[in-house]
Structure 1
Amino acid sequence: MKILSVENLSRAFGGIKANNNISFEVEEGSILGVIGPNGAGKSTLFDLITGYTKADTGEVKFFEKNIFGLTPDKISKLGIGRTFQKLKPFADQTLLENVMIGSFVKEKNIKKARDKALEIIDFVDLIEKRHHFAKELSTGQRKRLEMARAMAIEPKLLLMDEVTGGVDQKTIPGLVELIKKLKKSGVTIVTIEHNINIIMEISDNILALDQGERIAHGSPKEIQNNKQVVDSYLGTFDAA
């Protein structure tokens, strides 16, 4: 079943086309990886889908419901979560408080919101840090917190922007396993990722962008063998 359908989504900033007629679909229960060089329009695509930036044209459907033009809060309440490349937790609040804020989107009872937040914090393996301030966490731990905050709205679809970006090599495998764990829990995932080895390992399908254009969409094997993708991205990528 299609959980997300994007058709001819476009957005220009001045004369620059950040996204130009982007179309793709995501099957429920799958992971779609999004790749492309810097400036390809990946994060802008997330902004358009989640309502943080208004698209010029196009259509976005979530379970066949048209969500084009809805505000981020309304899209969130429907069940679409989002993490950001630039981490912005509430630095002077604890992990528990950070996640509880997200829980209040769907749960107004304080005790139930707290219990749900604790369950999520345990899921992302940060339960021992639950009373620590967000500013005390390492980058890898803040990545997990960002995922926990997004999970607090109980998303059916989670858009993740560079979960493994900016962390040390020892931290990456644990984050990859957490992504797989999320999928097993029933969450459909669309993830932007620069590490091509990771994207090939976790993705069921991959969307490749370049200069705001869709250049390929297919299985990891199809993407690896696509000459245009290799020329524009994979051929110049250092996977180390």
Structure 2
Amino acid sequence: MRVSLFITCLADQLYPEVGESVVRLLHRYGCEVDFPELQTCCGQPAYNSGYQDEAREVARNWIRAFEHSDYVVSPSGSCTGMVHHYYPSLFENEPEWKAKAERLIEKTYEFSQFMVNVLGIKDLAAEFPEKVTYHPSCHAMRLLGVREEPGTLLAHVKGLELIDLPYKEDCCGFGGTFAVKMADMSEAMVCEKAANVCSTNASVLVGTDMGCLMNIGGRLNKENKPVRVMHLAQLLEEGVKRGESAGRK
């Protein structure tokens, strides 16, 4: 199976190890992964700021980068959600580009969606004997409907104790440009989210979007809270290595 990695801006510039974990896990299950170097931003920051013409131009470049891919997989529900939900409206008056966007939407997935729903993988023979809590990001959950897939993967990790995060469906306050435009409100929201994370006594916070994890992790770090922040792909890859060391097949 041929898969193209859509790395996203945050992962590319700040968290490349997340992309590496995704690629190694896909390789583990027989996927041939390529990285279209034409890819840049999906256009979400411009779109959210009201610059639709600029967002449209960026989206055209994204489509050019991936239009010949068999599958597109991303470690971000937010950026994947941008493609799925806003590209058709961006190209409403450009039938050729709208058709290209819709063809790409059919084969573009967030990482956990692809693992569970396309590859049919639920148990990676991973081992991670720690207390973990999960933050469901707004875009992955509300735009893409990613609700069960991360939990399905985590439920099959040996030794992992998944602790429910209080008010887990509340936004962390990042919201891309929202955190810049409404800084005070954003800070209040992330303080509340960080407090809820700490109330679980989990040693690890896991999620599927690095924007949210960067925001919550930054707050936890500022408060000197000993909570490790990981993308789901990182946790699963580390768990696979632990499982192999423990002799799991």
> What TM-score does the superposition give when structure 1 sets the normalisation length?
0.28
Q: Greater share of strand residues, 1 or 2?
A: 1
> What TM-score does the superposition give when structure 2 sets the normalisation length?
0.28
Report which structure shows greater RCO (CA 8 Å, sep ≥6): 1
